[in-house]
Amino acid sequence: MFESNETLDAALARNVRDALMEDIGRCDWTAQLVPAGRCVTAQVVAKEAAVIAGRAWFDACFHALDPDARLAWAVQEGDRVEPGTVLVRIEADARAQLSAERPALNFLQMLSAVATLTREYVDAIQGLSPNPNGCKVLDTRKTLPGLRQAQKYAVRVGGGHNQRMALWDGILIKENHIAAAGGIRPALEAAFALNAGVDIQIEVESLDELQQALDAGAKNVLLDDFSFEDMEKAVALTAGRAVLEVSGGVDLASIRRIAATGVDRISSGKLTKDVRAVDLSMRVLG
Protein backbone atom coordinates (compact mmCIF):
# COMPACT_ATOMS: atom_id res chain seq x y z
CA MET A 1 0.00 0.00 0.00
CA PHE A 2 2.87 2.35 0.83
CA GLU A 3 6.39 2.47 -0.54
CA SER A 4 8.25 2.35 2.78
CA ASN A 5 7.90 1.88 6.52
CA GLU A 6 8.16 5.04 8.59
CA THR A 7 11.28 5.48 10.75
CA LEU A 8 11.31 7.00 14.22
CA ASP A 9 13.03 10.16 12.92
CA ALA A 10 10.46 10.58 10.17
CA ALA A 11 7.63 10.03 12.64
CA LEU A 12 9.09 12.62 15.01
CA ALA A 13 9.28 15.23 12.26
CA ARG A 14 5.69 14.45 11.21
CA ASN A 15 4.46 14.57 14.81
CA VAL A 16 5.99 18.00 15.43
CA ARG A 17 4.78 19.47 12.16
CA ASP A 18 1.25 18.20 12.78
CA ALA A 19 1.23 19.49 16.37
CA LEU A 20 2.38 22.96 15.37
CA MET A 21 0.05 23.08 12.39
CA GLU A 22 -3.05 22.18 14.41
CA ASP A 23 -2.23 24.62 17.21
CA ILE A 24 -0.79 27.62 15.38
CA GLY A 25 -2.22 27.43 11.89
CA ARG A 26 -1.72 30.73 10.06
CA CYS A 27 -0.89 32.75 13.18
CA ASP A 28 -0.64 32.71 16.98
CA TRP A 29 -2.41 36.01 17.52
CA THR A 30 -1.83 36.11 21.26
CA ALA A 31 1.94 35.77 20.83
CA GLN A 32 1.83 38.91 18.68
CA LEU A 33 1.18 40.91 21.88
CA VAL A 34 4.89 40.48 22.71
CA PRO A 35 7.34 42.82 20.96
CA ALA A 36 9.12 41.18 18.03
CA GLY A 37 12.73 40.17 18.62
CA ARG A 38 12.48 39.95 22.41
CA CYS A 39 14.37 36.97 23.92
CA VAL A 40 13.18 35.39 27.16
CA THR A 41 14.11 32.49 29.43
CA ALA A 42 11.60 29.91 30.62
CA GLN A 43 11.82 26.71 32.61
CA VAL A 44 9.79 23.52 32.96
CA VAL A 45 9.20 22.06 36.40
CA ALA A 46 7.81 18.65 37.31
CA LYS A 47 4.72 18.84 39.50
CA GLU A 48 4.73 15.10 40.25
CA ALA A 49 7.09 12.14 40.23
CA ALA A 50 7.75 10.79 36.74
CA VAL A 51 10.12 9.09 34.32
CA ILE A 52 11.07 11.63 31.67
CA ALA A 53 10.65 10.81 27.99
CA GLY A 54 10.17 12.90 24.87
CA ARG A 55 13.01 15.40 25.00
CA ALA A 56 13.58 15.21 21.24
CA TRP A 57 9.93 16.07 20.48
CA PHE A 58 10.02 18.92 23.00
CA ASP A 59 13.23 20.36 21.56
CA ALA A 60 11.99 20.04 17.97
CA CYS A 61 8.91 22.14 18.70
CA PHE A 62 11.08 25.07 19.83
CA HIS A 63 13.70 24.70 17.12
CA ALA A 64 10.99 24.63 14.45
CA LEU A 65 9.94 28.14 15.51
CA ASP A 66 13.33 29.46 16.61
CA PRO A 67 16.34 27.60 15.14
CA ASP A 68 18.59 29.49 17.57
CA ALA A 69 16.70 28.43 20.69
CA ARG A 70 18.94 27.10 23.44
CA LEU A 71 17.63 24.33 25.67
CA ALA A 72 19.63 23.30 28.74
CA TRP A 73 18.35 20.03 30.18
CA ALA A 74 19.00 19.23 33.82
CA VAL A 75 17.79 15.62 33.45
CA GLN A 76 18.45 12.81 31.01
CA GLU A 77 15.94 10.78 29.04
CA GLY A 78 14.71 7.98 31.28
CA ASP A 79 15.58 9.72 34.55
CA ARG A 80 13.19 9.50 37.48
CA VAL A 81 12.31 12.93 38.83
CA GLU A 82 10.51 14.16 41.92
CA PRO A 83 8.04 17.04 42.28
CA GLY A 84 9.78 20.39 42.07
CA THR A 85 12.57 19.19 39.79
CA VAL A 86 13.59 21.73 37.14
CA LEU A 87 13.74 19.73 33.93
CA VAL A 88 14.92 22.22 31.32
CA ARG A 89 15.58 25.92 30.75
CA ILE A 90 14.85 27.45 27.37
CA GLU A 91 16.30 30.67 25.98
CA ALA A 92 14.49 31.66 22.81
CA ASP A 93 12.55 34.30 20.96
CA ALA A 94 9.58 35.21 23.16
CA ARG A 95 6.98 34.70 20.47
CA ALA A 96 8.46 31.30 19.61
CA GLN A 97 8.47 30.34 23.30
CA LEU A 98 4.80 31.13 23.71
CA SER A 99 3.73 29.41 20.50
CA ALA A 100 5.78 26.25 21.11
CA GLU A 101 4.87 25.87 24.78
CA ARG A 102 1.69 23.81 24.53
CA PRO A 103 2.68 21.44 21.69
CA ALA A 104 6.08 20.85 23.32
CA LEU A 105 4.57 20.19 26.74
CA ASN A 106 1.91 17.91 25.24
CA PHE A 107 4.62 15.65 23.87
CA LEU A 108 6.72 15.69 27.04
CA GLN A 109 3.75 15.10 29.34
CA MET A 110 2.28 12.28 27.26
CA LEU A 111 5.51 10.42 26.52
CA SER A 112 6.69 10.78 30.12
CA ALA A 113 3.36 9.30 31.21
CA VAL A 114 3.94 6.24 29.01
CA ALA A 115 7.50 5.81 30.30
CA THR A 116 6.38 6.27 33.90
CA LEU A 117 3.64 3.64 33.73
CA THR A 118 5.92 1.25 31.87
CA ARG A 119 8.56 1.60 34.59
CA GLU A 120 5.89 0.79 37.20
CA TYR A 121 5.01 -2.43 35.36
CA VAL A 122 8.66 -3.40 34.90
CA ASP A 123 9.49 -2.73 38.55
CA ALA A 124 6.40 -4.63 39.71
CA ILE A 125 7.65 -7.97 38.36
CA GLN A 126 11.33 -7.72 39.21
CA GLY A 127 12.58 -10.99 40.70
CA LEU A 128 9.22 -12.75 40.52
CA SER A 129 9.64 -14.94 37.44
CA PRO A 130 10.95 -18.53 37.74
CA ASN A 131 11.87 -18.28 34.05
CA PRO A 132 15.69 -18.35 33.74
CA ASN A 133 15.43 -15.65 31.05
CA GLY A 134 13.17 -13.48 33.15
CA CYS A 135 9.90 -11.92 31.99
CA LYS A 136 9.56 -8.91 29.70
CA VAL A 137 6.88 -6.22 29.68
CA LEU A 138 5.61 -5.31 26.20
CA ASP A 139 3.22 -2.82 24.66
CA THR A 140 0.63 -3.51 21.92
CA ARG A 141 -0.68 -1.75 18.81
CA LYS A 142 -3.32 0.01 20.95
CA THR A 143 -1.69 3.41 20.56
CA LEU A 144 -2.92 6.96 19.99
CA PRO A 145 -3.46 7.56 16.25
CA GLY A 146 -0.39 9.07 14.61
CA LEU A 147 1.79 8.56 17.68
CA ARG A 148 2.69 4.86 17.35
CA GLN A 149 6.44 5.36 16.99
CA ALA A 150 6.58 7.99 19.71
CA GLN A 151 4.66 5.95 22.28
CA LYS A 152 6.57 2.77 21.59
CA TYR A 153 9.79 4.75 21.95
CA ALA A 154 8.56 5.92 25.38
CA VAL A 155 7.87 2.30 26.37
CA ARG A 156 11.52 1.50 25.64
CA VAL A 157 12.63 4.50 27.70
CA GLY A 158 10.56 3.13 30.58
CA GLY A 159 12.37 -0.20 30.42
CA GLY A 160 9.75 -2.11 28.46
CA HIS A 161 9.92 -3.81 25.08
CA ASN A 162 7.94 -3.42 21.89
CA GLN A 163 5.51 -5.92 20.50
CA ARG A 164 5.44 -5.64 16.71
CA MET A 165 5.65 -2.00 15.68
CA ALA A 166 2.91 -2.33 13.08
CA LEU A 167 1.34 -4.78 10.64
CA TRP A 168 4.49 -4.66 8.52
CA ASP A 169 6.65 -5.67 11.48
CA GLY A 170 5.31 -9.14 12.23
CA ILE A 171 2.64 -11.76 11.67
CA LEU A 172 0.12 -12.29 14.48
CA ILE A 173 -2.35 -15.04 13.68
CA LYS A 174 -5.53 -14.44 15.68
CA GLU A 175 -8.78 -16.39 15.95
CA ASN A 176 -10.34 -14.85 12.83
CA HIS A 177 -7.23 -15.64 10.77
CA ILE A 178 -7.32 -19.22 12.06
CA ALA A 179 -11.00 -19.59 11.23
CA ALA A 180 -10.58 -18.13 7.75
CA ALA A 181 -7.50 -20.27 7.01
CA GLY A 182 -9.17 -23.50 8.10
CA GLY A 183 -7.34 -24.17 11.36
CA ILE A 184 -4.15 -23.65 13.32
CA ARG A 185 -1.89 -25.80 11.17
CA PRO A 186 -3.04 -24.37 7.81
CA ALA A 187 -2.70 -20.84 9.16
CA LEU A 188 0.84 -21.44 10.40
CA GLU A 189 1.87 -23.22 7.20
CA ALA A 190 0.59 -20.27 5.16
CA ALA A 191 2.55 -17.88 7.38
CA PHE A 192 5.76 -19.90 7.04
CA ALA A 193 5.29 -20.04 3.25
CA LEU A 194 5.28 -16.24 3.00
CA ASN A 195 8.95 -16.18 3.99
CA ALA A 196 8.38 -12.55 5.01
CA GLY A 197 11.42 -12.28 7.25
CA VAL A 198 9.36 -11.20 10.28
CA ASP A 199 8.37 -12.92 13.51
CA ILE A 200 5.35 -15.22 13.38
CA GLN A 201 3.14 -15.42 16.44
CA ILE A 202 -0.10 -17.32 16.89
CA GLU A 203 -2.82 -16.69 19.45
CA VAL A 204 -4.37 -19.66 21.25
CA GLU A 205 -7.33 -19.83 23.62
CA SER A 206 -6.81 -23.20 25.30
CA LEU A 207 -4.18 -25.77 26.18
CA ASP A 208 -5.45 -27.95 23.35
CA GLU A 209 -4.89 -25.14 20.85
CA LEU A 210 -1.45 -24.57 22.34
CA GLN A 211 -0.58 -28.21 21.70
CA GLN A 212 -1.82 -27.93 18.11
CA ALA A 213 0.32 -24.82 17.59
CA LEU A 214 3.43 -26.47 19.02
CA ASP A 215 2.86 -29.56 16.88
CA ALA A 216 2.61 -27.30 13.83
CA GLY A 217 5.97 -25.68 14.58
CA ALA A 218 4.95 -22.48 16.37
CA LYS A 219 7.87 -20.69 18.04
CA ASN A 220 5.96 -17.71 19.42
CA VAL A 221 2.56 -18.15 21.07
CA LEU A 222 0.16 -15.62 22.57
CA LEU A 223 -1.98 -17.02 25.40
CA ASP A 224 -5.36 -15.31 25.29
CA ASP A 225 -7.46 -15.13 28.48
CA PHE A 226 -5.76 -18.10 30.16
CA SER A 227 -6.28 -18.60 33.89
CA PHE A 228 -3.20 -18.41 36.09
CA GLU A 229 -3.32 -22.18 36.50
CA ASP A 230 -3.49 -22.74 32.75
CA MET A 231 -0.60 -20.33 32.24
CA GLU A 232 1.50 -22.52 34.52
CA LYS A 233 0.36 -25.63 32.64
CA ALA A 234 1.20 -23.91 29.34
CA VAL A 235 4.74 -23.19 30.54
CA ALA A 236 5.19 -26.85 31.53
CA LEU A 237 3.66 -28.11 28.27
CA THR A 238 5.81 -25.84 26.11
CA ALA A 239 9.03 -26.66 27.99
CA GLY A 240 10.98 -23.92 26.25
CA ARG A 241 9.99 -24.90 22.70
CA ALA A 242 8.33 -21.55 22.06
CA VAL A 243 8.14 -18.06 23.52
CA LEU A 244 4.97 -17.66 25.57
CA GLU A 245 3.29 -14.28 25.87
CA VAL A 246 0.26 -13.35 27.92
CA SER A 247 -2.10 -10.56 26.91
CA GLY A 248 -5.58 -9.47 27.90
CA GLY A 249 -6.67 -8.09 31.27
CA VAL A 250 -3.13 -7.17 32.26
CA ASP A 251 -2.77 -4.42 34.84
CA LEU A 252 -0.73 -3.68 37.96
CA ALA A 253 -3.10 -5.82 40.00
CA SER A 254 -2.49 -8.96 37.92
CA ILE A 255 0.95 -8.62 36.36
CA ARG A 256 2.85 -9.96 39.37
CA ARG A 257 0.80 -13.13 39.43
CA ILE A 258 1.24 -13.57 35.68
CA ALA A 259 5.02 -13.15 35.87
CA ALA A 260 5.17 -15.79 38.60
CA THR A 261 3.78 -18.42 36.21
CA GLY A 262 7.03 -18.40 34.24
CA VAL A 263 5.80 -17.03 30.91
CA ASP A 264 8.34 -15.15 28.80
CA ARG A 265 6.45 -11.96 28.02
CA ILE A 266 3.48 -9.93 29.22
CA SER A 267 1.87 -7.35 26.93
CA SER A 268 -0.57 -4.63 27.93
CA GLY A 269 -2.40 -2.02 25.90
CA LYS A 270 -2.79 0.11 29.03
CA LEU A 271 0.77 1.35 28.63
CA THR A 272 -0.16 3.41 25.59
CA LYS A 273 -3.94 3.75 25.35
CA ASP A 274 -4.87 4.69 28.93
CA VAL A 275 -2.57 7.68 29.17
CA ARG A 276 -2.84 10.28 31.94
CA ALA A 277 -0.45 13.12 31.19
CA VAL A 278 2.30 13.83 33.69
CA ASP A 279 1.82 17.21 35.39
CA LEU A 280 4.50 19.60 34.16
CA SER A 281 4.54 23.40 34.28
CA MET A 282 6.38 25.93 32.12
CA ARG A 283 6.94 29.47 33.35
CA VAL A 284 8.68 32.43 31.72
CA LEU A 285 11.35 33.80 34.07
CA GLY A 286 12.04 36.97 32.14
pLDDT digits (tens, 9 = 90+) for 145-178: 999 999 999 999 999 999 999 999 999 999 999 9
pLDDT of residue 1: 76
The answer to whether residues 243 and 265 touch, using CB atoms and an 8 Å cutoff, is yes
pLDDT of residue 248: 87
Residue 189 has pLDDT above 80, yes or no: yes
Per the document, the length of the chain is 286
Question: What is the model's pTM?
Answer: 0.94
Residue 108 has pLDDT above 90, yes or no: yes
Distance CA 161, CA 177 (A): 25
Residue 188 has pLDDT above 80, yes or no: yes
| 201 Cβ contact list (under 8 Å, min separation 6) | 170, 171, 172, 173, 220, 221, 222, 245
Which phi-psi region, left, alpha or beta, contains residue 195 (left: φ > 0; alpha: ψ -120 to 50)? Answer: left
Q: Active-site residues: which are they?
A: 102, 142, 174, 203, 224
pLDDT digits (tens, 9 = 90+) for 194-215: 999 999 999 999 999 999 999 9
pLDDT digits (tens, 9 = 90+) for 47-70: 999 999 999 999 999 999 999 999
pLDDT of residue 268: 96
Average pLDDT over residues 225-232: 96
pLDDT of residue 86: 98
Average pLDDT over residues 255-282: 96
